[in-house]
């Protein structure tokens, strides 16, 4: 295909503003499916975790045809914790679609992803999505987007952005709100007219910057990137310039282009195409494929530093090795090394004093997704409480701060402000209307650790909170996270209903009857400060006498089911989360002092 007939666009937006759904509809509109073909919803969210959570975690590539053009689409994550993905894949795009919810307007992650696109001077088409919502206010949303561009110091030519109104769910786009609803052709016309064709020439030496990594069990590692110079064909001898500047020879064994969300093998690819390339197993994000006779490496992308770290250590509990397939420190090392090849926002360093690794990332969600992926792959290990990464400047200790936006019913504003005040948050603005309030805070990253579940409880599940990294600022002192102690098991045993019945008045329980536990494991939360040593296997004493009511059934209060994120947020410095494919357990770091209680 001619280079002038290719368009490379990234779709950027806040979480849940409809990126992946709109992509599905563009594929259908482009005639990429048969009329009788059954198509899964959110086709680009192919990962099991993405489908469960309804969010995009890793950037995806796809394409569709409109008239005689091929439009390559890059579907990006909306959550700031996966900002490393956004930064990388925007390098492959020649323009961006900025999706904004017609009711909510720009949100914190909209600010984040737009900032990255403007830094690369990408032309932007604004799509006001979900105009079919009953409470949609599209004109207001456009005004808010314009204000956001101004805040980000966008140049004048980008401030004059085109606007398209759309309903991704219903598969239509219109230029004006009073236009007749038909299909997505108005949006496709804007893409062809407003987004430039890829730059570069097929006569130049080969240049492909690897922006993401895929893996095939048959071909090994695949480098994905845009051809910015020259052309590619199979069996071609090339060199790969690594991130450290070293040069390694390679031969291209396969070249894939993206059709819908599938990879299709081709013999050759032209300048401007987005392709996946096999033939070099050591390739990482930031490497350059180039010509051996005219080596021209491209500069690797700059990545924002991580703000949160956790320790990943081998499991040493009494139940170690029972449920996992990969349990040793070497297994952990190999898996984490594989992860940092593809995720450049992740940093892994060995722990000096003991076996294990310090893993640093963008936020709690970034790290918990990695833990959940490893757990499902058969890994068994333990993690510590998340710690923020401090900096020092001019003798002062600095810590990361987030810009936190909260939308909540006015009835819950008081409790939210009280809790955030305890977490050292500083309110910036507060707007109210129609019974709802929007609060914007600057809050230390430490202050948000474990706050989401507490926030949802306080607002009866009706509040919405979003945050994005703001800056490093002065350390604000100690923050107290948990005011209550833990119920700690005194022996290895199996939990018994009678014992749990007697314990439920002492706090809230995390485990049901019939569960194997060990000395030092946490079985619940004490209702007071300080840890309580308990025996969850204490059974009813048998006697020859029968008292009235002694044989009544034991009635247990439903236990609190703790998700992985809940467990990570709950633990203190002296506690660990034990992660296995079958179970997630809370435990004390030191196990051998609880049996004498």
Residue ranges for the known binding site are 16-21, 129-132
Read off the tokens for 562. Answer: 């703790």
CA distance 415 to 513: 35
Residue 301 host element (H or E): none
User: Could you tell me where the beta strands, DSSP code E, fall in 190-292?
Assistant: 207-216, 220-229, 232-233, 237-241, 247-251, 254-259, 262-266, 268-269, 274-278, 288-290
**DSSP characters over 336-347:** HHHHHHH-TT-E
Binding site membership for GTP: which residues? Answer: 16-21, 129-132
CA distance 473 to 403: 12
Read off the tokens for 386. Answer: 């998340």
CB 113 within 8 A of CB 145: no
CB 339 within 8 A of CB 370: yes
Read off the tokens for 11. Answer: 């779709």
Q: How far apart are the first and last CA of the chain?
A: 75
CA distance 254 to 277: 6
> Measured on CA atoms in the order 281, 282, 285, 287, is the torsion positive or negative?
negative
The neighbouring-strand residues paired with 397 are: 392
Bridge pairing between strands 163-167 and 124-129: parallel
Read off the tokens for 70. Answer: 């091929």
CA distance 246 to 251: 17
CA distance 510 to 556: 12
**How many CA within 13 A on the CB side of residue 225?**
29
| Distance, CA of 502 to chain centre | 41
> Measured on CA atoms in the order 221, 55, 481, 500, is the torsion positive or negative?
negative
């Amino acid at each position: 295909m001619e280079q002038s007939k290719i368009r490379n666009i990234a779709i950027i937006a806040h979480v849940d503003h409809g990126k992946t759904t709109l992509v599905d509809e563009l594929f259908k509109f482009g005639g990429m499916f048969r009329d009788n073909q059954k198509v899964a919803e959110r086709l680009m969210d192919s990962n099991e975790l993405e489908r469960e959570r309804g969010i995009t975690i890793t950037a995806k590539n796809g394409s569709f045809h409109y008239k005689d053009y091929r439009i390559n689409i890059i579907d990006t994550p909306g959550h700031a914790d996966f900002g490393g993905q956004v930064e990388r894949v925007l390098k492959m795009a020649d323009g961006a679609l900025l999706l904004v919810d017609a009711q909510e307007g720009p949100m914190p992650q909209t600010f984040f992803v737009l900032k990255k696109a403007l830094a690369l001077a990408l032309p932007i088409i604004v799509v006001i999505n979900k105009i079919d919502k009953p409470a949609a206010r599209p004109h207001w949303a456009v005004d808010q987007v314009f204000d956001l561009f101004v805040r980000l110091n966008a140049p004048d030519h980008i401030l004059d952005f085109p606007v398209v109104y759309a309903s991704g769910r219903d598969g239509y786009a219109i230029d004006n709100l009073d236009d007749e609803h038909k299909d997505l052709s108005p949006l496709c016309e804007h893409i062809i007219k407003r987004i430039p064709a890829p730059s570069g020439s097929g006569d130049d030496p080969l240049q492909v910057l690897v922006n993401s990594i895929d893996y095939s069990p048959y071909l090994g590692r695949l480098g994905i990137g845009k051809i910015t110079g020259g052309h590619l064909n199979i069996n071609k001898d090339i060199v790969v310039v690594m991130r450290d500047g070293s040069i390694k020879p390679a031969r291209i064994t396969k070249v894939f282009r993206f059709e819908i969300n599938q990879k299709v093998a081709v013999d050759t690819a032209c300048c401007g195409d987005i392709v996946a390339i096999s033939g070099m197993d050591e390739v990482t994000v930031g490497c350059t494929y180039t010509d051996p006779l005219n080596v021209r490496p491209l500069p690797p992308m700059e990545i924002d530093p991580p703000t949160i770290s956790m320790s990943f250590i081998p499991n040493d509990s009494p139940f170690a090795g029972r449920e996992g397939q990969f349990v040793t420190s070497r297994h952990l090392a190999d898996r984490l090394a594989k992860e940092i090849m593809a995720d450049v926002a992740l940093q892994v360093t060995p722990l000096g004093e003991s076996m294990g690794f310090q893993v640093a990332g963008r936020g709690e969600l970034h790290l918990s997704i990695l833990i959940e992926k490893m757990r499902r792959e058969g890994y068994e290990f333990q993690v510590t409480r998340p710690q923020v990464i401090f900096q020092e400047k001019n003798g002062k200790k600095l810590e990361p701060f987030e810009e936190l936006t909260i939308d909540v019913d006015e009835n819950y504003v008081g409790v939210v402000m009280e809790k955030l005040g305890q977490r050292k948050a500083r309110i910036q603005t507060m707007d109210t209307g129609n019974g709802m309030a929007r609060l914007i805070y600057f809050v230390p990253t430490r202050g948000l650790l474990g706050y989401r579940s507490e926030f949802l409880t306080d607002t009866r599940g009706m509040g919405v909170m979003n945050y994005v990294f703001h800056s490093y600022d002065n350390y604000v002192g100690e923050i107290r996270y948990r005011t209550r102690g833990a119920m700690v098991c005194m022996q290895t045993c199996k939990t018994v209903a009678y014992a749990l019945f007697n314990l439920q008045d002492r706090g809230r329980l995390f485990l049901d009857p019939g569960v194997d536990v060990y000395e030092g494991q946490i079985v619940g939360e004490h209702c007071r400060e300080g840890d309580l040593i308990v025996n969850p296997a204490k059974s009813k004493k048998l006697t020859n006498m029968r008292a009235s009511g002694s044989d009544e059934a034991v009635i247990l209060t439903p236990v609190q089911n703790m998700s992985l994120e809940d467990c990570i947020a709950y633990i203190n410095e002296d506690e660990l989360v034990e992660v296995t494919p079958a179970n997630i357990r809370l435990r004390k770091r030191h196990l051998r002092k609880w049996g004498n209680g």
